[in-house]
Chain A
Amino acid sequence: METDQNKNKSRRDFLITTTALAGGFASLFLLKPFKVLGGDTTDVVAAKDVKKLAGRPKEDHWFGFGFDNSLCIGCGSCAKACKAENNVPKEPFYFRTWVEQYVVKNDETIKVDSPNGAIDGLKQSVDDKEVFKAFFVPKTCNHCYKSPCTQVCPVGATFVSPEGVVLVDEKYCVGCGYCVQACPYGCRYIHPVKHTVDKCTLCYHRIMQGTAPACVDVCPTGARTYGDLRDKTGSLVMFIKNHKCRVLKPHLNTGSKLFYNDLAEEVR
């Protein structure tokens, strides 16, 4: 028969063993996964490469976009160039950038359209007599610096780069779609082949070489500009200085860095 002392000892041993096991298991979470598993580390390095690619101290750049709606003619060259430059799937459900056509009718109703993201150009579908006003609005990622999409990513696969560009590490993204839900501007989609999230990178591979993003490059009217918000004499800062610029959905406080000139009140 067991003595009381033995019973206590067995109970104590049990508590010590379970605590040690639980502690050991919990401590695993403090370590980086690939170090624990001893496997490939490329996924972790990918995000770090951003700084390497930049090649300059992070304080140097803080990129953003400037779109002048008064100059946009809805030709869709930007959307077309973006798909070609960035291998965006051709189907009409996946866009890194697109152009919307707004028509405010005399009866105060609003008709908005963007067939195939305006890649094939936009044509007026409302009779002239009914039109009160009409205009085009180019859309893309706002590269917010208080970005709700990066906030919600459960693994940190999407992040704001040191240069202020919102990027996705596709080798790390789990494809949960939480960021798609969190983006107020509808700028993200799940790539049908990669099954990870995809979005505008502000043509990061181009701007870090000093070349303009594809959409900016091809715009025939110069409606799109981009630039470094820390460069006080740069094109973007001058664009903001010389126009009465606004951002989309300012009440959401996302820190949008896509500045619009001539942004009509009707635009969402």
Chain B
Amino acid sequence: MENIEHLYRALSQVDGYIYPNEIELRWSILIVLYPFITGLVAGAFILASLNRVFNVKALKPTYEISLLAAFSFMCVATMPLIFHLGQPFRFYEIMMTPHLTSAMAIFGFVYLWYLMVVLLLEIYFDYRRDMVLWSNEKKGLLRIVYRMLTLGVYDVSPKAVKWDEKIGYFITVVGIPSAFMLHGYVGFIFGSVKANPWWNSVMMPVIFLFSAMVSGIALVLFLYMVITWIRKQKLDLECLDAIGKYLFYILIIDFTLESLDQIHRIYVAEESFDIISILTTKLFLTLTIGQVLLGTLVPLVTLGYFQFHKPKAIIRKVVYFTLSILVLIGIFCMRWNVVIGGQLFSKSFLGFTTYKTSFLGGEGLGIAIILLIIPFLILAFLLWFLPPWKKVHD
């Protein structure tokens, strides 16, 4: 029997009337992490694609960082989902015997497609020549590993490299709609739940997609600055400005879409409107302050100002760094507001339950923090193993 002390506490804090089975929030902080991490993957990949497909040269220093970051976060994207399951050892059933009308079941395939076909292949074709060259330079185990990862294709002639380039380009072209699909689909998992008016919106996949792009771009901005500082290199200001510009554009679209969704709710004021109005006041800290003010308005105004007037380099660097963190916090708050907010009110529309994160436990804050740290460790390893700055560039 699991510890249910917290449920008695929650029961005493119920506000209004909720169905008796609704006291426990089914989807905890781990399910907040799931769309957050998946969003970072999709967003980081789309930034990488901008560089490759649309040939945005200013973004060049971030290309490999974006790809490797997307891969690192993709590796842990399903972990919160699996840890959250009541029967985690049955997780493979979702892939082996998927129920085809379930959005969650199909996500497994979207995930696999993206991980195996898009990300892995793109990284392979991007690094193949370098791995061949490194395998010749290194000795011992590292040499064997590099050789294995080339999958036996050691040809580094200009013709072969050109082919790598062509296939890589093709994969990126396929990858863009795949990234759109990956995170749009996460939005659909929530948006298609008609029982929950806070989730049930046709806008949800699009909102999730653009917020994913926002978070992914902010992540790459953050990583690029941190990695450059660690390597004691000079930051490429042109690159920072370019990322800032794209972050600004995507933020405008994201903010517009989310505002449209809210304005629509307020204007049509359906049956659920009263309870949702109270919900938004209950989410003051994460919605009004975290998501809207710090995560959206402050970055929008600052980045908007930068489009007209560029202050001194040092100021820009500090501001970009601060904004990247603010945006990441803002998007995390957005996921929190969707997942937790959507379960705080009863489907009877007559009351609220409460949610408190505990540090310990299978679904506690501790596990969530570990799951957020793991991708950074994977990335650190990948940056050592496949250093973008040691690649041979034509």
Contacts and interface: CB of A to CB of B under 8 A. Distances in A.
Interface stretch (B38-46, B83-91, B239-247): B83-91
Interface string A90-130: 01111100101000000000111110110000000000000
A7 B104 contact: no
Nearest to A183: B195
Interface string A134-156: 00000100000000100111111
A192 B6 CA distance: 13
Interface stretch (B148-156, B221-229, B291-299, B379-387): B148-156
Contacts of A189: 21, 24
B273 interface: no
Contacts of B351: 112
Interface stretch (B278-286, B341-349, B369-377): B341-349
Contacts of B268: none
Given A156-B99, A182-B193, A268-B349, A177 B92 contact: no
B55 interface: no
B160 to A, nearest CB: 7
A184 B347 contact: yes
B88 to A, nearest CB: 8
B155 A186 contact: no
A178 B104 contact: yes
Contacts of A51: none
Q: How extensive is the interface on chain B, given as a class?
A: 35 or more
Tell me the interface secondary structure of chain B in the complex: loop
Contact of A155 (B21, B22, B99, B157): B99
Contacts of B20: 92-93, 95, 98, 114, 116-117, 186
A180 B26 contact: yes
A7 B157 contact: yes
A175 interface: yes
Interface string B1-35: 11010010001000011111111101100000000
B394 interface: no
A7 B155 contact: yes
Contact of A190 (B86, B90, B91): B86
B101 interface: yes
B102 A154 contact: yes
A16 B185 CA distance: 32
Contacts of A182: 193-195
Contacts of A184: 194-195, 347
Interface string B72-104: 000000000100111100111111111101111
Interface of B: 1-2, 4, 7, 11, 16-24, 26-27, 81, 84-87, 90-99, 101-105, 108, 151-153, 155, 157, 160, 163, 192-196, 343, 346-351
When A and B form their complex, which 5 residue pairs have the shortest distance between CB atoms, in order from nearest?
Answer: A175-B86, A186-B19, A195-B86, A184-B195, A156-B99
18 contacts: A7-B157, A33-B96, A93-B24, A94-B21, A114-B17, A139-B19, A151-B101, A154-B94, A154-B98, A174-B91, A175-B86, A181-B27, A181-B196, A183-B195, A184-B194, A185-B19, A190-B24, A196-B87
